[in-house]
């Protein structure tokens, strides 16, 4: 089961990467670590979105994305959205689990109107060790923190 969880987290990171683009971090970026992330608007958005995905409510989860991300999602054929919804639900964790993971190993880098959440975990068991990394990117505006592409 531990191996399945790691595989799910790795796959979740890959799917989230589908919705996130690479971003550089400037020297003026601020870092928020661990439990403090859960008090930040982007941390709250990440946990809420994961809970919605885990519960199979993609329509609500997508409302936490930027308008551009919502537009791309809605432009996809229904079959593609259905497939991605199933994959994301299967590979997601509960909001409680994501909160625990963020507390244990989360790093939120805020750089002006952009932010990147990274949760890196190292696992060891009888089969060896592995590392899983989840990365999610955000855009911040006066109305909140939105999952971005």
pLDDT tens, position by position, 65-80: 999 999 999 999 999 9
Amino acid 97: pLDDT: 95
**The pLDDT value given to residue 6:** 55
33-40: average pLDDT: 97
User: What's the mean pLDDT in 4-28?
Assistant: 48
What pLDDT, on a 0 to 100 scale, did the predictor assign at position 24?
A: 43
Neighbouring C-alpha atoms within 13 Å toward the C-beta of 133: 6
Q: What separation, in Å, do the N-terminal and C-terminal C-alpha atoms of the chain show? A: 31
**Confidence category of residue 2, pLDDT binned at 50, 70, 90:** low
Please give the mean pLDDT across all residues of the chain. 85
Q: Choose among 100, 96, 140, 102: nearest CA to 119.
A: 102
User: Which among 81, 90, 80 has a CA at the least distance from the CA of 53?
Assistant: 90
Using the predicted structure, report yes or no on whether residue 25 has a pLDDT greater than 70. no
The pLDDT of 22-33, averaged and rounded, is 68
List C-alpha distances in Å: 7 to 2, 28, 83. Answer: 9, 34, 18
- Provide the pLDDT for residue 4: 58
Confidence band for 127, pLDDT divided at 50, 70 and 90: confident
Share of the chain above pLDDT 70, in %: 81
Give the Cα separation of 72 and 79 in Å (integer): 14
Q: Which of 99, 95, 134 is nearest to 117 (CA)?
A: 134
Report the predicted TM-score, pTM, of the whole model to 2 decimal places: 0.78
Query: Is residue 10's pLDDT more than 50?
Result: no
């Amino acid at each position: 089961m531990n191996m399945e969880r790691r595989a799910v987290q790795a796959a979740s990171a890959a799917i989230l990467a589908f919705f996130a683009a690479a971003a550089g971090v400037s020297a003026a970026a601020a870092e928020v670590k661990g439990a403090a992330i859960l008090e930040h608007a982007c941390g709250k958005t990440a946990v809420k979105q994961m809970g919605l995905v885990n519960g199979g409510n993609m329509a609500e989860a997508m409302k936490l994305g930027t308008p551009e991300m919502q537009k791309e999602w809605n432009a996809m054929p229904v079959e593609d959205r259905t497939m991605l919804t199933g994959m994301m639900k299967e590979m997601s964790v509960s909001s409680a689990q994501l909160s625990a993971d963020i507390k244990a190993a989360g790093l939120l880098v805020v750089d002006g109107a952009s932010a990147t959440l990274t949760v890196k975990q190292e696992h060891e068991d009888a089969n060896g060790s592995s590392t899983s990394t989840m990365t999610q990117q955000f855009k911040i505006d006066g109305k909140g923190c939105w999952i971005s592409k």
